[in-house]
Amino acid sequence: MKKSIFKKIRSFLSFLITTVLFITLIFAVFITISAKASGGEPEIMGYQLKAVLSGSMEPDMQTGSIIAIKPGGDMTRFNEGDVITFINEDENLITHRVAEVIKSGEHIMYETKGDNNNAVDPKPVLSDNVVAEYEGFTIPYLGYVVNFAHSQTGSAILLIVPGILLLGYAAFTIWQAISQIEFKQPSKSKVKESIEQE
């Protein structure tokens, strides 16, 4: 009975490890290929995944997390309280909250502020410089992986290491299964009985 339970637990753990390694490999492949293909962060179903590199929007967006933003649409549609991603004067992507909507003739500008900052950003953002809206989706710490995937070393490691681990574990499982096969040999008593019958 104990052996049966032990075998079930071992079988479950084996399945769990294999599944985790396989999912890790698939995820690593997706992150790497998607990042390379798009020339930036990965994209899923029209949503771009961006890495958070500062703590200006904490606690909602932790440094090192990834966020989902939705590009496209009318960039003059935003209101106070919306969170937008825009290109600043240094050509960097920033995700901050709209503090005030400023109308200047035909132009719409947004005064923005990081939730964790004491003051609004130095310059209002022209609606033409807004690239997307933050959709409220974030995963902590995964941004470090995305940034790492952009480097040549990161791409190689994220593709090769999970694959090696999966192959290694598969080889170990096969070896373990082969070592447990019992090659049954006839016992001496059975051999004697067969001789006597002849």
Task: Give catalytic status of residue 54 as yes or no.
Answer: yes
Query: Which of 11, 54, 151, 194 does the annotation list as catalytic?
Result: 54
Helix 142-150 vs helix 152-180: crossing angle, to nearest 10: 110
* Residue 128 contacts residue 145 (beta carbons within 8 Å): no
Residue 97's closest CA among 120, 65, 128, 64? Answer: 120
125 CB-side CA count, 13 A: 33
Q: Give the number of other CB atoms < 10 A from CB of residue 162.
A: 20
HEC-encoded secondary structure of 5-18:
HHHHHHHHHHHHHH
Q: Give the number of other CB atoms < 10 A from CB of residue 139.
A: 14
| Residues taking part in catalysis | 54
